[in-house]
Amino acid sequence: MASRLDLQTLLESTLGSENVYYQAPSNVSMKYPAIRYSRKNIDNKFADDAVYMQMLEYELTVIDEDPDSVVVMKVSKLPMCKFDRHYVSNNLNHDVFVIKF
């Protein structure tokens, strides 16, 4: 299992900037385009009543002023990443993904 910091590095590389925020508090002023992410779930695989494998699931949100953001397509191509939903808030486009990492 890779660490969260490995995911941070992957997301920064995918975005092409350091505008990647883990569990960003509401008082942080984000620069766009940005990726905000947080842990969503721990996916356990069981055998003989014991956990034999775990994968962490993170919820990623790509936030951009551009409704046709190229970042969305880049994130959608990451391994074990699945698109969940899109919404607009405060004139910003939010594309939400779930990734197992």
Reported as a single tens digit per residue, the pLDDT across 70-80 is 999 999 999 99
* Cα–Cα separations (whole angstroms), residue 74 to 2, 18, 79: 20, 16, 11
Structure tokens at 25: 């508090």
One CATH from 3.90.1150.10, 2.40.10.220, 3.30.420.40, 3.30.2000.30 for 4-95: 3.30.2000.30
Cis omega before residue 67 (within 30°)? no
> What is the residue extent of each domain of the chain?
4-95
pLDDT band, residue 26 (cuts 50/70/90): confident
For residues 36-64, give the mean pLDDT. Answer: 95
Instruction: Tell me the average pLDDT across 5-27.
Output: 93
